[in-house]
Amino acid sequence: MRFLALIAAALLAAPAPAALSPAERRIAAVVDAEQERSIALLQRLVDVNSGTMNLAGVEAVGRMMRAELEPLGFAVTWRPMASTKRAGHLIAIHKGKPGAKRLLLIGHLDTVFEKDSPFQRFVRRGDQAEGPGAGDDKGGMVVMLGALRAMKAAGTLASANIEIVLTGDEEDAGDPIDVARADLVAAGKRADAALDFEGLVVEQGRDMGSIARRSSNSWALTATGRTGHSSLIFNLEHGDGAINELARIVTAFRTQLPEPNLTFNVGLIAGGATATLDPDGVRASATGKTNVIPATAVARGDFRTLSEEQTRRVKAKMQAIVAAHAPGTDARIAFDPGGYPAMAPTAGNRALLARLNGINRDLGLAEMPPLDPLRRGAGDISFVAADVDGLVGLGTASRGDHAPGETVDLASIPRQAKRAAILMSRLSAETR
């Protein structure tokens, strides 16, 4: 009775715009009435450490999500990922009306905060709360659940065909990545729309719509030269040395690669008589003397693009630069397999944002302009972007993500849950 009274009070206190259907008005009322329930669930999720490499913790959060999804009518499966040295993924399927559009919902169970992090607990301060993963992405999962509960209460979930993929390694994907993302890719091929529940970006007080994410590609560069006494450098026999060759390449990257929506970085570099990278590519060691021409130089870096066509073009430019060797040197570049692909800002993605903005108008909310893709990093939805239209940023608004003090805006939970629930309800009412 108390729950029904809360819904009735919400309806009377803030009547929804007339453009909403009766079911959609009920969705809005249920979301508002359940705000404290959503916050309590967020606290429980945050207080269980699920750093990517805390495999038991990731599985524990998966069990918590299973307990929320099964009562809503989802068939839930845990997909172990021992072969990629990660915990696994939670996959949940709701079968609705035959022939209705199929929706893919994406989120992740893991956080960047491992068991040894000093940042471990949820602390609420009014409409703000700190906690590891409070925004990224436990806040997003809470929005997703709030939307689904409201749909069930309003009767719109019954006809919805929904597949949920909650990865357990979004923050540090397992290897090989084609195995780690096989289930997600397969789900994307089955779907008619993909909705990613990572964080909402707010700029100058305005909620932004995300229709694109850039890729993430890593590379390793090795330059070699003819060693000898330093007094012989640059002559015809000994040439420029490995470090100068590496410097030539990096300088050419800086001057020749820049183009819109591309960023590139050299993150690690070493050179000398010997130079090596560790197997993980995160540490370098070198030996050498000032009076010896360096024989080897190594570097690691990344680049990010807005489309797969741009990725191919940038790779070709980098390879051509590397191939134009300085005298007496050689060099080779290798691109890591399994980078994150790009999610290009397609017409289909723009159409989904237009649908969401129609819902914003019906809810009395401001229109969400498309976010500059330079403001978003790589993410899981990119693995399905070639197969299905999608939107990003249906999760909570937060700040300081990936650092101690990560803070979620609790007031964004109902705003986002209403948007998501109504969008899913309207899409689910359409035939494929």
What is the residue type of 39? I
Confidence of residue 18 (pLDDT cuts 50, 70, 90): low
Q: Is the predicted pLDDT of residue 306 greater than 90, yes or no?
A: yes
So what's the architecture of 2-213+341-428 in CATH? 3-Layer(aba) Sandwich (3.40)
Outline which parts of the chain fall under CATH 3.40.630.10: 2-213+341-428
Outline which parts of the chain fall under CATH 3.30.70.360: 217-335
- 44-78 pLDDT, tens digit per residue, is 999 999 999 999 999 999 999 999 999 999 999 99
Mean local confidence (pLDDT), 32-43: 98
Measured between alpha carbons, how far is 223 from 333 in angstroms, rounded to an integer?
Answer: 9
Mean local confidence (pLDDT), 346-369: 97
Here the contacts of 24-28 (C-beta below 8 Å, separation 24 or greater) are 24/154, 24/362, 24/422, 24/425, 26/150, 26/153, 26/154, 27/150, 27/151, 27/153, 27/154, 27/156, 27/418, 27/421, 27/422, 27/425, 28/150, 28/363, 28/418, 28/422
What pLDDT is recorded for position 8? 47
Q: Is the predicted pLDDT of residue 7 greater than 60, yes or no?
A: no
What's the N-to-C CA distance of the chain in angstroms?
A: 39
Mean confidence (pLDDT) of the chain: 95
Mean local confidence (pLDDT), 186-208: 97
- 391-428 pLDDT, tens digit per residue, is 999 999 999 999 999 999 999 999 999 999 999 999 99
Q: Which two tokens stand for residue 269?
A: 């570099």
Residue with tokens 């409070």: 134
Measured between alpha carbons, how far is 196 from 117 in angstroms, rounded to an integer?
Answer: 27
Q: Which two tokens stand for residue 64?
A: 């918590």
- Tell if the pTM clears 0.75, that is, is over it: yes
Measured between alpha carbons, how far is 280 from 293 in angstroms, rounded to an integer?
Answer: 28
Confidence of residue 11 (pLDDT cuts 50, 70, 90): very low
What pLDDT is recorded for position 338? 79
Residue with tokens 């029904």: 4
Q: Is the predicted pLDDT of residue 340 greater than 80, yes or no?
A: yes
Contact call for residues 368 and 209 (beta carbons, < 8 A): yes
Mean local confidence (pLDDT), 29-44: 98
Percent of the chain with pLDDT over 70: 96
In Å, what is the CA distance from 307 to each residue of 117, 262, 304, 314?
A: 35, 10, 9, 11
- H-run or E-run covering 285: strand 284-287
- 217-238 pLDDT, tens digit per residue, is 999 999 999 999 999 999 999 9
Contact call for residues 381 and 390 (beta carbons, < 8 A): yes
Mean local confidence (pLDDT), 267-289: 95
> Residue 355 burial (CB < 10 Å; 0-12/13-18/19+)?
middle
What pLDDT is recorded for position 124? 98
Residue 318 DSSP label: H
Q: Is the predicted pLDDT of residue 319 greater than 90, yes or no?
A: yes
Measured between alpha carbons, how far is 413 from 374 in angstroms, rounded to an integer?
Answer: 25
What is the residue type of 309? E
Mean local confidence (pLDDT), 279-284: 90
Among 35-39, 372-376, 426-430, which is the least confidently predicted range? 372-376
What pLDDT is recorded for position 376? 85
Measured between alpha carbons, how far is 66 from 8 in angstroms, rounded to an integer?
Answer: 30
Dihedral, 18, 24, 30, 33 alpha carbons, nearest 10 = -30
What pLDDT is recorded for position 99? 96
Measured between alpha carbons, how far is 374 from 389 in angstroms, rounded to an integer?
Answer: 20
What pLDDT is recorded for position 81? 98
- CB neighbour list of residue 429: distance below 8 Å, 6 or more residues apart: 100, 156, 159
What pLDDT is recorded for position 15? 43
What pLDDT is recorded for position 13? 43
- H-run or E-run covering 58: helix 55-69
- 121-142 pLDDT, tens digit per residue, is 999 999 999 999 999 999 999 9
Nearest Cα neighbor of 223 from 244, 253, 237 is 244
Measured between alpha carbons, how far is 363 from 418 in angstroms, rounded to an integer?
Answer: 9
Q: What is the CATH number of domain 217-335?
A: 3.30.70.360
What pLDDT is recorded for position 1? 47
Q: Is the predicted pLDDT of residue 252 greater than 80, yes or no?
A: yes
Mean local confidence (pLDDT), 185-189: 98
- 86-129 pLDDT, tens digit per residue, is 999 999 999 999 999 999 999 999 999 999 999 999 999 999 99
- 143-152 pLDDT, tens digit per residue, is 999 999 999 9
Q: Which two tokens stand for residue 86?
A: 């990660």
